[in-house]
Amino acid sequence: MIIKQLSIFIENKKGHLALVTNVLRKENIDIRAISVFDTSEFGILRMVVNKPEEAVNALKEAGYTAKVSKVLAIQPEDRPGSLNEIFNILDENNIDIEYIYSFVMRKRDMPFIIFKVRDEERAIDVLKKYHIQLVAEEEIYEEN
């Protein structure tokens, strides 16, 4: 339910995404999802990969400021309004979303939604209560 995501500090400069991903490529790490939150000068690169611990060690060794963050992944139903319902539920239960992004895995029909909240455990309880489908860690790391 709780997914390990990489958070990496990068400067907003030409070529820096290539440099970071070079490190992962050398370690034969597979990127499942990627997203950047940036200002004009710097950003935090967030990635879901198949081997998060190995990846973060390799990045640190290469000199990056990087860490593993906990995020949640859900699988919304394929119909209009389903995402809206989820956001309403979280809002009504006073759960603030810090950031959100989505990604698709080839073997599945539906995209996953990754999101970050301050209190993961409580968010899980709320989502379960409303029968929102949470995605298990193994499903994300498994071979595509």
Partner 1 sequence: MIWSKEETMNREQIEEMQLKRLKETVKRVYEKVPHYKEKFDKMGIRPEDIHNLSDITKLPFTVKDDLRANYPFGLFAVDQNEIVRFHASSGTTGKPTVVAYTKKDMETWSELIARVVTMAGVTDKDTAQVAFGYGLFTGAFGLHQGLERVGAGVIPMSSGNTKKQIMIMKDFKTTTLICTPSYALHMAEVAREEGLDPAKDLYLKWGLFGGEGSSESMRQELNRAWGIFATENYGMSEIIGPGVAGECSALTGMHINEDHFYPEIIDPDTGEVLPPGEKGELVITTITKEALPLIRYRTKDITTLDYEKCDCGRTSVRMSKIQGRTDDMLILGGVNVFPSQIENVLLHVKGIGPHYQIKVFKKGYLDKIEIDVELIDSNLLEYFPQLEALNREIQSELRTVLGIDSKINLVEPRSLARFEGKATRVIDMRKNEKL
Residues binding partner 1 (CB under 8 A): 7-11, 16, 37, 39, 41-42, 44, 60, 63-67, 69, 98-99, 116
Shortest distance (Å) from residue 66 CB to partner 1: 6
CA-to-CA dists, residue 76 to 102, 105, 123, 139, 143, angstroms: 11, 14, 15, 15, 22
Residue 105: CA count within 13 A, CB half-sphere: 22
Contact 3, 36 (CB under 8 A): no
Residue 87 or 99 with smaller CB distance to partner 1: 99
How far apart are CB 125 and partner 1 at their closest, in Å? 21
Q: What is the DSSP string of 109-131?
A: SS-EEEEEES-HHHHHHHHHHTT
- Closest distance to partner 1 from the beta carbon of 4 (Å): 13
C-beta closer to partner 1: residue 41 or 78: 41
For partner 1, the closer of residues 69 and 102 by Cβ is: 69
The residue (of 39 and 144) whose beta carbon lies closer to partner 1 is 39
